[in-house]
Structure 1
Amino acid sequence: MFMILLAVASAVAYGTADFLGGTASRKANVFTVVAISAPASLAVEALVLPFLGARWSAGSIGWGALSGVASAFAFALLYHALSIGPMVVMAPITAIVSAALPVMVGLAEGEHLSAAQAAGLPVAVSAIMLVTVERSVSVASVRPRAIAVACLAGAAIATQLITLDQAPHDSGVAPLLAGRAVSSLLVLGTAVAIRRRIDPGRPPVKIAAAAGTLDSLANLLFLLAARSGLLSVSAVIVALYPAATIVLARVVLTERISRTQWFGLATAAAGVALLALK
């Protein structure tokens, strides 16, 4: 049950971070936003180091670095997707892709699910699909480019989760620190390289930094959840993060939530309940 609570908390943190990042990217270039978010994430992980410790090894550094590369792409692609398309469509598309790959990897590595958990996987995926349904904003009306970016963002998020899980489970926050250091360098380097070709706008620094802080917290919670349970279960629960994004989009941006989407949120709760059973 503790693993489920960690995964749910991670999903809420991811969803809130994505909402803040997408909102910030509507006011400034995505690279400018990510250049603020990534270092903020690194600072948070450095702060928790004394409490959780770190064991530096080739495995923790290597897998952490790979997760950092994936994280840099995930940051940029996801925030870009949320800035060029409606959040109620972009976030769930990304989530479905990000859930599928870790499940396949976990099962391929020999993870065994209980009957309830096996039933919970399709219920959770169905919940993600249900929250995409919006009569006023159909997937068919969204530009193909936006959908493609959302799918790539999902693949990047999945790669980040998979590589973090591959790091030694006794490595503490070493993989997170290595990953965030790499992603920060990549993001900042890219921002500097293209600074003359972009209009930075007026980036909302506090919002961008808050997005990075919550993303870092979400990563930490996922890592703890995956270490105490199954990757396939943790990843699917974390992939329910669009629920938080959509609720915030409704409250803050007044984006409409249909009855079907509310049913999807209820279905998500049922899916989590099934995944919690052994």
Structure 2
Amino acid sequence: MFALLLALGSSLAYGCADFLGGLGARKAHVLRTVMIAAPASLGVELLLWPVLGASFDPATLAWGAASGVASAAAFALLYKTLAIGPMNVLSPITALVSAMLPVGVGLVQGEHLGPAGLVGLPLALAAVVLVSAGPGANAARPSRTALLLALGAGAAIALQLVFLHQAPSDSGVGPLIFGRSVSSAVTLAAAAVMFGRLGPEKPAYGISAAAGVLDSVANLLFLLAARSGDLAVVAVITALYPAGTVLLARGVLSERISRGQLVGLGTAAVAAGLLALT
């Protein structure tokens, strides 16, 4: 139960972070937003070091670095995805993709899906179709580019979570600190290479920093949850984060979705719940 509560907390933090990151990326180039968000995340993890401890053995550094590269890709792809919008459609697609890979890894490592999980997996796939197809003249339909970005963001998020889970369980926040250091370095390097194409717009500093802080909190809660529970279950509970993004998108941006897409969102919630019962 403790692992589930941590995973739910991670889900809530991810949902709020994604909304703010997507909102920030609408005001300036996505890399400008990530340049603020990634160092802000690192700052939070450094503050947690004296409290939770950290070790930096070779395995921690390797898995931390891998998660950092995946995190940099996830930041850029996800914020660009949500900037294109509609958030309330693309965020659930990203979440479902991000849940599938950790479930597969968990199964390979010896975790088992019960009858509920065997029903939940095909339901999750059906939800992707429903959410992305949304018929009707007034439906909020994502573009092909946005869908591809959402799929890429989901894969990057999944890899980040899997790599964090592989880090030694006694490494404290070591993999988070090193991973975020690598993520920040990759982001700054990419920004330097593309500097001439970033445009003159200034990033929304407060929004971007808040997104980074919340993302760091979400990563920490996920790591703690995965260390005390099954990866397959924790990853799927964490993947419920679009609920927060969708509610904020509807409340702040007045985004609308069709009935078919609402069915897709409901199906996604049922699928995630079934997978959590495994």
Alignment TM-score, normalising by the size of structure 1: 0.90
Contact 2:97–2:154 (CA<8 Å) still a contact in 1? yes
Give the Cα separation in 2 of the matches to 1:134 and 1:36.
34
Q: CA deviation at 1:85?
A: 2.8
Q: CA deviation at 1:196?
A: 2.0
Number of aligned residues:
278
In structure 1, the residue matched to 2:148 is 148
Contact 1:133–1:258 (CA<8 Å) still a contact in 2? no
Secondary structure, aligned partner of 1:218: helix
Contact 1:92–1:132 (CA<8 Å) still a contact in 2? no
Contact 1:92–1:129 (CA<8 Å) still a contact in 2? no
Deviates more, 1:240-249 or 1:195-204: 195-204
Give the Cα separation in 2 of the matches to 1:43 and 1:124.
35
Letter of the structure 2 residue corresponding to residue 189 of structure 1 = A
Q: CA deviation at 1:192?
A: 2.3
Letter of the structure 2 residue corresponding to residue 254 of structure 1 = S
Residues 157 and 273 of structure 1: is their aligned pair in 2 closer, same or farther, counting only changes over 3 Å? closer
Give the Cα separation in 2 of the matches to 1:245 and 1:49.
29
Secondary structure, aligned partner of 1:171: coil
Deviation by residue 1:223-275 (Cα, 9 ceiling, x = unmatched): 11111111111111111211111110001111124556666666666556555
In structure 2, the residue matched to 1:231 is 231
In structure 1, the residue matched to 2:182 is 182
Contact 2:240–2:269 (CA<8 Å) still a contact in 1? no
Give the Cα separation in 2 of the matches to 1:178 and 1:146.
30
In structure 1, the residue matched to 2:242 is 242
In structure 2, the residue matched to 1:30 is 30
Unaligned runs of 5+ in 2: none
1:217 equivalenced with 2:217 (yes/no)? yes
Give the Cα separation in 2 of the matches to 1:33 and 1:194.
14
Secondary structure, aligned partner of 1:256: coil
In structure 2, the residue matched to 1:170 is 170
Residues 120 and 6 of structure 1: is their aligned pair in 2 closer, same or farther, counting only changes over 3 Å? farther
Contact 1:31–1:187 (CA<8 Å) still a contact in 2? yes
Give the Cα separation in 2 of the matches to 1:10 and 1:87.
19
In structure 2, the residue matched to 1:6 is 6
Letter of the structure 1 residue corresponding to residue 77 of structure 2 = L
| Percent identical | 58
Contact 1:27–1:204 (CA<8 Å) still a contact in 2? yes
Unaligned runs of 5+ in 1: none
Residues 197 and 128 of structure 1: is their aligned pair in 2 closer, same or farther, counting only changes over 3 Å? closer
Alignment TM-score, normalising by the size of structure 2: 0.90
Q: CA deviation at 1:108?
A: 1.1
Contact 1:128–1:242 (CA<8 Å) still a contact in 2? no
In structure 1, the residue matched to 2:161 is 161
In structure 2, the residue matched to 1:66 is 66
Letter of the structure 2 residue corresponding to residue 183 of structure 1 = S
Give the Cα separation in 1 of the matches to 2:129 and 2:4.
21
Give the Cα separation in 2 of the matches to 1:246 and 1:274.
21
Deviation by residue 1:93-120 (Cα, 9 ceiling, x = unmatched): 2112111111111101111244455555
Give the Cα separation in 2 of the matches to 1:218 and 1:77.
18
Contact 2:124–2:268 (CA<8 Å) still a contact in 1? yes
Residues 262 and 5 of structure 1: is their aligned pair in 2 closer, same or farther, counting only changes over 3 Å? farther
Q: CA deviation at 1:215?
A: 0.5
Give the Cα separation in 1 of the matches to 2:219 and 2:233.
15
In structure 2, the residue matched to 1:48 is 48
Deviates more, 1:77-86 or 1:118-127: 118-127
In structure 2, the residue matched to 1:194 is 194
Letter of the structure 2 residue corresponding to residue 193 of structure 1 = V
What is the root-mean-square deviation in Å for CA atoms of aligned residues? 2.5
Deviates more, 1:149-158 or 1:80-89: 80-89
